[in-house]
């Protein structure tokens, strides 16, 4: 009698256990079908991220080279501008000196001191 009572009490537990077993079997079957494609998608996503990272690194390296080239060009332009400025100043100074020389009033010749004068009839040789 007590064995019958235990079996009667255990019967709903066995049914629940069978139901849980079927649910677990369905879950495992679903995982067996869905898990490999999901893992493959994750692997492909990782590869794409790696490719994008490599492309981004290349882009950053090229941008860095471009910035260095621009910096070098700007430095060269600065040096050339300084040279042009110096050359322009030199030309302006030369033109001003030439202008002053051309516009200078003629000076009267200075009298030669008597002790340096030549006797009449003799001229200085060049």
Note the pLDDT tens digit of each residue in 9-53.
Answer: 888 888 999 999 999 999 999 989 988 988 999 999 999 999 999
For residue 77, the number of C-alpha atoms closer than 13 Å in the C-beta half-sphere is 6
Question: pLDDT band at residue 114, thresholds of 50, 70 and 90?
Answer: low
Rounded to an integer, the average pLDDT of 5-9 is 83
98 to 84, 87, 108: CA distances (angstroms): 21, 16, 20
When pLDDT is cut at 50, 70 and 90, the band that residue 124 belongs to is low
pLDDT at 125 > cutoff 60: no
CB 118 within 8 A of CB 124: yes
* Domain-wise residue ranges, the chain: 12-99
The pLDDT of residue 29 is 93
Does 104 or 70 have the greater pLDDT score? 70
Residue 118, C-beta contacts closer than 8 angstroms, at least 6 positions apart: 124
């Amino acid at each position: 009698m007590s064995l019958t009572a235990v079996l009667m009490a255990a019967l709903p537990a066995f049914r629940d256990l069978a139901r849980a077993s079927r649910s677990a079997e369905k879950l495992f079957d679903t995982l067996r079908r869905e898990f490999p494609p999901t893992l493959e998608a994750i692997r492909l996503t990782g590869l794409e991220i790696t490719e994008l990272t490599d492309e981004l690194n290349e882009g950053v390296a090229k941008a860095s080279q471009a910035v260095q080239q621009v910096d070098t060009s700007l430095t060269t332009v600065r040096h050339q501008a300084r040279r042009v400025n110096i050359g322009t100043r030199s030309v302006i100074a030369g033109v001003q000196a030439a202008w002053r020389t051309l516009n200078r009033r003629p000076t009267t010749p200075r009298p030669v001191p008597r002790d340096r004068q030549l006797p009449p009839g003799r001229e200085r040789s060049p």
